[in-house]
Amino acid sequence: MKKIFFKKRTIFLARLFLGQFPVLVSTYLFLSRQFLNFSVVFQFLLVVINLASILATVYLTREMRIREFEDDDFVSPRTNQLMFIGLTGFMSIICLYRGIIATEAYQQIIAYIGAVLCLIIMLLLMWGLKYYKK
């Protein structure tokens, strides 16, 4: 049993370090507009790193699906659903805030549509908790 958890933890950590962190760093560089100040060679290198991290994420996700971890008790589906309820609630608050502070009408409309969609998803997730079998 410990061997299964060790394999799963190893695959998960490899997926995190090879697939997620490079994408997060490059997303930060892109959103902070520092990406445009780099040389063409470094921009090309970042694109190659992103493609390699995407491929590593896809491969390791398939590897986790192939290995059957039936006795995985790290997080229950109910806890996952509660976390998604919290996430969509937080996203709806952010969208409402963005709708309030936006100066352009189209930005307000987009933000309010996003808030409504997040609220609908959150309510559907809460409704799904009612039918969750313990």
Between 120 and 2, residue with greater pLDDT: 120
User: Residues, the chain, total?
Assistant: 134
Q: In 3-state terms, what secondary structure has residue 11?
A: helix
- The residue-averaged pLDDT of 58-81 equals 67
pLDDT at 28: 79
Record the pTM. Answer: 0.49
User: Most confidently modeled of 22-26, 42-46, 49-53, 111-115?
Assistant: 111-115
Between 76 and 112, residue with greater pLDDT: 112
